[in-house]
């Protein structure tokens, strides 16, 4: 699990939380007492894990959906190892095909994804994770969702 990265929500809260204790002793919620996303590991059964199939590169596509807005955030790839890590840590961990290395989502950006539900499809060849998205969103462009461009829209349309 990540430590407190500069700029992350955790670091921000840790830095600012003491200030909220100096508000004259009033016992009301402070802006800086917002609940933190918490990890909820999933104890997958071996029967379920055995249903998952991997392509010739040992990868399976994983769809990520936001639990609050229901929007599809992104699609990325997992190995059996990163699937197990995702379930065990309660945070999404992918395999980067371009860098050929493990990639804990949000490890550097702070835009972590906290797993709330995890599914596999009828053929076992696609995964679906419903997550609480931390930070500004899932996309490296700064957009909340990677699917911010639609077919048939004008180039001047506001991003979704």
Report the chain's C-alpha Rg in angstroms: 18
- If binding is defined by CB under 8 A, does position 100 make contact with a second copy? no
- If binding is defined by CB under 8 A, does position 49 make contact with a second copy? yes
- If binding is defined by CB under 8 A, does position 60 make contact with a second copy? no
- If binding is defined by CB under 8 A, does position 12 make contact with a second copy? no
Minimum CB–partner distance for residue 115 and a second copy (Å): 9
Return the closest-CA partner of residue 77 out of 67, 89, 66, 86.
86
Interface segment toward a second copy; rule CB under 8 A; list 4-12, 16-24, 26-34, 58-66: 58-66
Q: Which of 4, 5, 11, 61 binds a second copy (CB under 8 A)?
A: 61
Minimum CB–partner distance for residue 158 and a second copy (Å): 14
Q: Distance from CA of residue 129 to its chain's centroid? A: 9
Q: Which of 87, 93, 104, 131 binds a second copy (CB under 8 A)?
A: 87
Contacts 24+ apart (CB under 8 A), 117-125: 117/67, 118/42, 118/44, 118/86, 118/87, 120/48, 120/51, 120/52, 123/53, 124/51, 124/52, 124/53, 125/52, 125/53, 125/55, 125/60, 125/61
Q: How are beta strands 101-104 and 93-96 bridged, if at all?
A: antiparallel
Output 11 or 44, the one with its CB closest to a second copy.
44
Count of residues of this chain found to bind a second copy when the rule CB under 8 A is applied: 39
Q: Which residues of the chain form contacts with a second copy (CB under 8 A)?
A: 42-45, 47-49, 51, 61, 63, 65, 70, 72, 74-75, 87, 117-123, 126, 128, 139-141, 143, 146-153, 155, 160
């Amino acid at each position: 699990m990540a430590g407190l990265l500069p700029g992350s929500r955790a670091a921000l809260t840790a830095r600012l939380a003491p200030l909220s204790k100096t508000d004259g002793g009033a016992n009301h919620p402070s802006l800086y007492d917002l609940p933190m996303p918490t990890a909820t590991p999933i104890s997958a059964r071996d029967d379920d894990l055995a249903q998952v199939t991997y392509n010739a590169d040992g990868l399976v596509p994983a769809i990520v959906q936001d639990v609050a807005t229901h929007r599809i955030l992104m699609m990325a790839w997992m190995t059996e190892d990163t699937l197990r890590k995702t379930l065990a840590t309660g945070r999404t961990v992918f395999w980067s095909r371009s860098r050929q290395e493990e990639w804990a989502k949000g490890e550097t950006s702070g835009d972590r994804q906290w797993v709330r539900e995890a599914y596999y499809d009828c053929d076992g060849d696609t995964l679906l994770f419903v997550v609480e998205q931390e930070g500004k969103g899932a996309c490296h462009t700064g957009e909340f969702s990677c699917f911010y461009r639609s077919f048939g829209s004008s180039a001047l349309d506001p991003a979704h």
